[in-house]
Chains A and B, each alone.
Chain A
């Protein structure tokens, strides 16, 4: 139960909050320790020989509290220095001096003022200050009552710590919210820039497309209305295509992976990696074993886009619940063979459908069904090689 409480209320709120809690617990311990010892309120008998070391111990404990105070505000720092000095004064002179009471009070007031933006802490410290002043004044007339001042410290310290935790948590949440707002603002700015980029690109691409379309209409008019054919029409179309290409090149250059900016030709290794990644991502196959057989020295002139399409179309035809799908892709000088090891009848029918589909899409590869004793597949031959 304690563990779940700690997990829920403390650990789940993140590293910063956990640090905050433990730091405050430590500081409370420091204040308690000092209060208990000075006020002689420990639940055990303090040996007389040890008693003389109490002020030294309180100096050490309050010095530890400097870690917290130093990180927060200077008034608190001065307060801690004063407390240490006070303890030192007690050590050497064993007297309670009125000057220290006044200085102590003034610094408590100053400390509370530094918390003025944190309402709960501010009110608490005002209350603590008034109480402390009252008890200290009383204690100057009755030293026995001095222990109640220490008792006040014992009571007030953990309350202050809890208040500070909740106040710090609010500040933490506020700073998180500020960060989120900054991120949101940045995202809005990015979106705005993307919108501008998108609109500019759309305009820059649509204009040459209009020119291309316009000149093709001219070619049509030439046929039907005896408009004289000007060879510059073709050149104008070419010019617009180049213009579009420049824009797409610019877009490609925005990509972080320069390897993606390939031309028509590519190495076989690149094809293999690309095809495999593409197929596994696009088709979400569970078990796909791709075996590539190729001659590393040969440079294949293959357009990547067509490769993706062909292989994707082929694999789409297979039901994905097939396990252990072993496919051999064999590259040679003349053709690409896409072979399925020990296919079943379902696959054989599918392959015929695939061939027809690929042919219908007019790719410049001729499709032929490939059969051997154990393998069945599709052979893609370049058109100029013949089937």
Chain B
């Protein structure tokens, strides 16, 4: 659980109420370093400034969509360690999302308990892979 205090989290969501809610759930789950972005431009700025470990991103934005943001981040080697897309409607196939570095796609409405469980299992998987590699 200590790892949750250390990782940097980026939440990208244009709906303010949902953004606030996601932050609340992440804090209750033990995450402390949380950055918030309400649009794709803010997200790109935060990705440039910080090494993000975990990102929860919506897909549909008024300007650039979330997939495009992550595609650009991948080019700059800024892809978060764990990237999860959360969206109400998805024009992309899972393969296309994985191609920009996504671990999973959650369709709204999302149960946050399941989301946190997935993040935990994904972290453990990546952590054990790193230990095996070293």
Contacts and interface: CB of A to CB of B under 8 A. Distances in A.
Interface of A: 198-200, 202-215, 217-218, 221, 225, 227, 236, 239-240
Main secondary structure of the interface of B (DSSP, over half): mixed
B18 A206 contact: no
A225 to B, nearest CB: 8
B28 A209 contact: no
Interface of B: 15, 17-18, 21-22, 24-25, 28, 60, 86-89, 91, 107-113
Interface centre among A203, A205, A227, A240 (most CB of B within 10 A): A203
B109 A203 contact: no
Nearest to B19: A211
A217 B89 CA distance: 22
Contacts, number: 63
A200 B91 CA distance: 11
Given A203-B89, A217-B113, 14 more contacts: A202-B89, A206-B107, A207-B15, A207-B18, A207-B108, A208-B17, A211-B15, A211-B17, A211-B21, A214-B22, A214-B24, A214-B25, A218-B24, A239-B17
A62 B32 CA distance: 98
B18 A221 contact: no
A206 B109 contact: yes
B111 A213 contact: yes
Given A202-B88, A203-B60, A209 B109 contact: yes
A186 B104 CA distance: 37
A206 B28 contact: no
B21 A209 contact: no
A212 B109 contact: yes
Given A203-B60, A203-B89, A213 B113 contact: no
